[in-house]
Amino acid sequence: MEQPSSKGKGDAAGVTSSGSSGRSDELSTATAKAMRQANVLTGLVNLFVDTLFVSSVSALIILIVYAFVLSAFVSFADFYGMKLKFW
């Protein structure tokens, strides 16, 4: 009995047997956007806060605010289709 060939058919994640998909391109673009925004936000935190000498409570508050701002900004940029380029 012959088994059906899966050549050219996609799996549950939408990836074809050739290994490429539009979804993975979208994810890599979204990841690149998030990383650029995270790098800028990290630089701003490092400019304005002396992070080596803050208390544990202050550090936790900084991390929570950082995560919230980054998540909000990435979501906002993705929702409105903003393209952020610094070159």
Check: CB of residue 74 under 8 Å from CB of residue 81: no
Q: Is residue 44 part of a domain?
A: yes
Instruction: Give me 36's structure tokens.
Output: 């650029």
pLDDT score at 61: 93
For residue 74, give its domain range.
Answer: 29-79
pLDDT in tens, 47-78: 998 888 999 999 999 999 989 988 888 888 77
Residue 3 pLDDT exceeds 80: no
Tally of domains within the chain: 1
Q: Which are the contacts of 49, defined by CB distance < 8 A and separation ≥ 6?
A: 62
Residue 21 lies in a domain: no
- 23-52 pLDDT tens trace: 666 667 777 777 888 888 888 888 998 888
